[in-house]
Amino acid sequence: MLLLIVFWSRRMRREETAGTKLVRIVGATVAERGMLRDGNRVLVCVSGGPDSVCLLDVMRQLAPERRLSLCVAHVDHKTRDGGSTRDAEFVRAVARQCGIPYRQRTLRLRERKRRGESFQISARNARYRYIEEIAGKVDADRIALGHHADDLAETVLMRVITGTGLGGLTGIPAVRGRIIRPLIDVWRDEILDYLDERGLEYRVDRTNLEPTYLRNRLRLDLVPKVESDYNPQFRGALVRLARIAGNVETVVTKAVADCERRTDVCRLGGRVTLDRQKYARQGECVRREMVARIIGDLCGTVEYETVERADEFLIGTDTGKRCPLPGRCEIETVYHRAIIRRVRPRRAVPNQQVTLRVPGVKEVPELGTRFVVRTLNRTKAPSYYARLCTPVRQFFDLGMIHESVLVRRRMPGDRFHPLGAPGEKKLKDYFIDKKVPREERDRALVVLSGGRILWVVGHCLDDRFKLTRSTRRVLTIRCEPIEQSS
């Protein structure tokens, strides 16, 4: 009898309830993917539906051990004839009951929907925008969203049906910046079982049951049919496909980064330039993937036919030609280089002189550029730093710089001493020799100090400020594009 009791008690300990199983899965997901650090401040996004209510409850259970500080965020879009307002009241009450700070933003989306956007896209964009604003105000380290494995499977299927590439097959990222999705390895049925076992209430958005939207039709009709008639493990197969695609995407991303270095890709102020001759020598697969990502970043969307046309244009077109792209973008060939850019209305190029923070970060929206400035001790040979230089990153001998560091557009009469040249020359003559198009010359940025040019950004360092064996302190400047309104 004693042996039977011991056996039974051990068996009971081995059996998991829906609640303990889900918490175990989420804990493993958080650990394996490095989602949280001890002491993080986490903004938990709660809509009031079952997924987000489950997320909040699980995060509350993880909080003590990891010393997490939680805050609840909710966005009310003022839709569904007052239904969204009742959702907001429900979430507020849940947060109050849990003793967790609550933040809410309200948006009458139908009055602010952008032309050409669907209601769903506008709602999603507004939601993410306001969640990021709230996260900034509460100083959150992480933003937790309630997407789960079914969402991942449906996203992959939807992209296959509508058309996608390798990146689209990865589905929903578990971690992107400070956004985390702790439930990404949990199925919808497991969430509902968890809520039932814990006795937790939640809201039901009836629009999720309407066949108006593609995602709803997939979830309510296509997926059940495939599982019943063809493959009972269909959703699992889609999730595995996303995982495999994610692994391959990691490899491809590294290959694209290497290709960018080999083709002298330079991103600055809403445009990208590259060397067409070097581009043509790269393998077709990786170079097309590279140009697809460049066009996607600039235009917001990219189709296979667009990438194919862009690739052929970059390789086989004479200088001075232009190729229009979707999203008000274009490619222009300029001798051996190409410029891929957003097309904006022609207007006077602003010119102002801005003092950079040394060290520090300075954003100059008028120039479309962020300048990241650092100082450091020289610990390696000058040749080491030379290998780290790019068109948008440069190293200078800080001992040769005695006044403030400024940046502005180039001006008539500018002169400098190009690296390796025998002496000074006019910047205009340098551009003509390098066959830089007139429009690009007018937009060129120069970094200067004490009236002398240190660097023509994207082009050339002044020889007088290069690193030498006598250099002790190093100044490094990196330029990054920042978004500008069209």
Q: Give the per-residue SS3 of the chain.
A: CHHHHHHHHHHHHHCCCHHHHHHHHHHHHHHHCCCCCCCCEEEEECCCCHHHHHHHHHHHHHHHHHCCEEEEEEEECCCHHHHHHHHHHHHHHHHHHHCCCEEEEECCHHHHCCCCCCHHHHHHHHHHHHHHHHHHHCCCCEEECCCCHHHHHHHHHHHHHHCCCHHHHCCCCCEECCEECCCCCCCHHHHHHHHHHHCCCCCCCHHHHCCCCHHHHHHHHHHHHHHHHCCCCHHHHHHHHHHHHHHHHHHHHHHHHHHHHHCCCEEECCEEEEEHHHHHCCCHHHHHHHHHHHHHHHHCCCCHHHHHHHHHHHHHCCCCCEEEECCCEEEEEECCEEEEEECCCCCCCCCCCEECCCCEEEEEHHHCEEEEEEEEECCCCHHHHHHHCECCEEEEEHHHCCCCEEEEECCCCCEECECCCCCCEEHHHHHHHCCCCHHHHHCCEEEEECCEEEEECCCEEEHHHCCCCCCCEEEEEEEEECCCCC
pLDDT in tens, the chain (486 residues): 544 444 444 454 456 788 899 999 999 999 999 999 999 999 999 999 999 999 999 999 999 999 999 999 998 877 767 778 899 999 999 999 999 999 998 876 554 555 455 667 777 777 888 898 899 889 999 999 999 999 999 999 999 998 888 888 999 999 999 999 999 999 999 999 999 999 999 998 888 888 888 999 999 999 999 999 999 999 999 999 999 999 999 999 999 999 999 999 988 767 899 999 999 999 999 999 999 999 988 887 788 889 999 999 999 888 888 899 887 889 998 888 899 988 765 555 556 789 999 999 898 887 778 899 999 999 999 999 999 998 889 999 999 998 999 999 999 899 999 999 999 999 999 998 888 877 778 788 999 999 999 999 989 999 999 999 999 999 999 998 775 433
Q: Where in the chain are all domains bearing CATH 3.50.40.10? A: 354-481
pLDDT at 12: 45
Provide the pLDDT for residue 9.
47
Q: Give ranges for CATH 3.40.50.620 in the chain.
A: 2-241
Residue type, 279: Y
262, with CB counted inside 10 A (0-12, 13-18, 19+), is: middle
What's the fold here for domain 2-241? Rossmann fold (3.40.50)
Tokens, residue 334: 């300029």
Question: In CATH, what class is 354-481?
Answer: alpha beta
CATH 3.40.710.10 for domain 263-342: no
Q: pTM above 0.85?
A: no
Q: Can you give the pLDDT at residue 7? A: 46
